[in-house]
Amino acid sequence: MLGPVAQKYGITYPLLADEDSRVIRELGLLNEDANPSVFGIPHPGTFILDPDGTVRSKQFYSSYRERDTGTGVLSHLLGIDRDRKSTRLNPSTSP
């Protein structure tokens, strides 16, 4: 199912299809407050893994409109900025 998406966008890392929301439930990320029409979606967030796959940092938000930026994640990892940056998405342009 995700193969065509990965090929279309040039994604070379493994993608997770969590059709029954089992993984996000196990991780405690299921957004229980989501509109019933989109039930099964997680809270937006980021896991930072080390080369061995151990979670070293994580950040999650209650609203889909707020997400980590690439710049914010990198500055956090590099210790440039102690506070993780996030961006509030414009509701008129967000999915």
pLDDT at 27: 81
pLDDT at 10: 93
Residues 73, 66: Cα–Cα separation, whole Å? 14
pLDDT at 8: 92
Residues 48, 24: Cα–Cα separation, whole Å? 16
**What's the average pLDDT block by block, 10 residues per block, for the chain (95 residues)?**
86 85 85 81 82 84 78 81 53 42
Residues 6, 29: Cα–Cα separation, whole Å? 24
pLDDT at 78: 82
